[in-house]
């Protein structure tokens, strides 16, 4: 396995929030670019949080996947429903919730830069607050009739992958987790972040799929956590993909990081759906035990 050890000096932008459920405001949205979704709002403490809810056809109850987005590099006010994720997972039989965590989209709360600025030590306080919000989203999901909240998965890309690890380490509600390049852009530049992620891996008992591209800024954020999961005998699988270059320009610090955007989705969709199905039961499970087998070396 080849590890990329390139240093990261940029800021860590991360997002989580405390979502205490209230009766949501709902607006159905249909777009030519993807499937219909409901725009919902619910409380996180005293903050009003925007989220996008996708549901498969039928009455359910369906298992659920919470998708955690990454940072937006100054475009926090944009509403981004991640319709390719909604389409991918609803056709596999899942309800999908995509929260716009505090400070993003139409959600209340301060933006990441306002809370963190250039102080790396304040990042974890912000991330743990956002992790509270993701955990509180479970309460909202219990109000959605078509959901089976005994079967909830959580996943995220980049900062969303970090949030996924933090939230999964703090709750037994998640049956499965997926970390897509969490920390790959920030691992070498923030010791506070490294300690928080290592601590989450040392505590988590959630079966987890770790995914990263060889040409991301670093693979250490993934391989370090996988070694901890191995030592603790926690079910997991690691996939290190061949180098990826996006066909269209995308604002990321390393080309491989864009693998988990819509441009790279066809590369990893089947791996994701198989792993989720193994634990959530919405699809035919992959019966092979591929734990810790790097795809690039198979």
CATH of the domain at 107: 3.40.50.1820
The tally of domains found in the chain comes to 1
**Residue 243 DSSP code:** P
To the nearest 10 degrees (0 to 180), the angle between helices 265-280 and 83-90 is: 50
Is the pLDDT confidence value at 72 over 90? Answer: no
Does residue 237 sit in helix, strand or coil?
strand
How many helices and strands (H and E) does the chain possess? 7, 9
Is the pLDDT confidence value at 24 over 50? Answer: no
Residue 255 lies in domain:
20-297
**Residue 263 DSSP code:** G
Average pLDDT, the chain: 84
- 15 is a domain residue: no
pLDDT tens per residue, range 110-165: 888 888 888 888 888 888 988 888 888 999 999 999 999 999 999 999 999 999 99
What are the C-alpha distances in Å from 289 to residues 35, 149, 237, 286? Answer: 33, 26, 8, 8
Say whether pTM exceeds 0.95: no
Residue among 165, 172, 163, 178 nearest 236 (CA): 178
Instruction: Give the whole-angstrom CA distance, residue 29 versus residue 298.
Output: 42
pLDDT, position 45:
87
Higher pLDDT, 33 or 204: 204
pLDDT tens per residue, range 186-220: 899 899 999 999 999 999 999 999 999 999 999 99
Sheet holding 95-100, edge to edge: 20-31, 34-44, 47-54, 95-100, 62-68, 147-157, 174-180, 208-213, 236-241
Contact between 209 and 171 under an 8 Å Cβ cutoff? The reply is no
pLDDT, position 30:
52
What are the C-alpha distances in Å from 123 to residues 22, 51, 162, 168? Answer: 28, 23, 12, 18
- 201 is a domain residue: yes
Instruction: Give the whole-angstrom CA distance, residue 213 versus residue 240.
Output: 5
pLDDT tens per residue, range 40-57: 998 888 998 899 999 999
- 8 is a domain residue: no
Instruction: Give the whole-angstrom CA distance, residue 263 versus residue 244.
Output: 10
Contact between 175 and 279 under an 8 Å Cβ cutoff? The reply is yes
- 9 is a domain residue: no
pLDDT, position 34:
63
Is the pLDDT confidence value at 258 over 70? Answer: yes
Cα within 13 Å of Cα(225), Cβ side? 41
- 217 is a domain residue: yes
- 167 is a domain residue: yes
User: 214 - beta bridge partners?
Assistant: none
Task: Name the strand (E) or helix (H) holding 174.
Answer: strand 174-180
- Name the most confidently modeled range: 35-49, 58-72, 74-88, 219-233: 219-233
pLDDT, position 18:
24
What are the C-alpha distances in Å from 114 to residues 111, 117, 118? Answer: 5, 6, 10
Instruction: Give the whole-angstrom CA distance, residue 297 versus residue 116.
Output: 39
Burial of 23 (0-12, 13-18, 19+ CB in 10 A): exposed
- 1 is a domain residue: no
Residue among 95, 189, 203 nearest 150 (CA): 95
Q: What is the mean pLDDT of residues 212-232?
A: 97
- 170 is a domain residue: yes
The residue length of the chain stands at 298
Higher pLDDT, 51 or 76: 51
């Amino acid at each position: 396995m080849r590890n990329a050890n390139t240093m990261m000096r940029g800021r860590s932008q991360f997002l989580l929030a405390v979502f205490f459920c209230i009766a949501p405001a709902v607006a159905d949205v249909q777009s030519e670019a993807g499937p219909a979704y409901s725009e919902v709002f619910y409380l996180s403490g005293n903050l009003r949080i925007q989220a996008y809810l996708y549901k498969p056809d039928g009455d359910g109850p369906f298992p659920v996947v919470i998708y955690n987005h990454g940072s937006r590099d100054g475009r926090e006010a944009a509403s981004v429903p991640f319709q390719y994720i909604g389409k991918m997972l609803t056709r596999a039989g899942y309800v999908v919730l995509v929260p716009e965590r505090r400070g993003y989209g139409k959600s209340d709360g301060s933006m990441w830069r306002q809370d963190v600025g250039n102080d790396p030590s304040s990042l974890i306080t912000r991330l743990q607050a956002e992790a509270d919000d993701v955990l509180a989203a479970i309460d909202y999901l219990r109000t959605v009739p078509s959901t089976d909240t005994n079967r909830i998965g959580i996943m995220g890309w980049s900062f969303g992958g970090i949030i996924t690890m933090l939230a999964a380490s703090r709750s037994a509600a998640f049956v499965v987790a997926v970390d897509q390049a969490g920390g790959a852009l920030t691992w070498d530049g923030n010791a506070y972040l490294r300690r928080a992620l290592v601590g989450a891996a040392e505590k988590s008992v959630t079966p987890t799929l770790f995914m990263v591209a060889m040409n991301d800024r670093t693979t250490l954020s993934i391989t370090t956590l996988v070694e901890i999961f191995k030592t603790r005998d926690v079910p997991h699988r690691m996939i290190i993909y061949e180098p990826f270059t996006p066909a269209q320009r995308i604002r990321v610090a390393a080309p491989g990081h864009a693998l988990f955007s819509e441009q790279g989705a066809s590369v990893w969709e089947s791996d994701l759906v198989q792993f989720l199905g193994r634990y959530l039961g919405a699809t035919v499970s992959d019966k092979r035990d591929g734990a810790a087998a790097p795809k690039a070396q198979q």
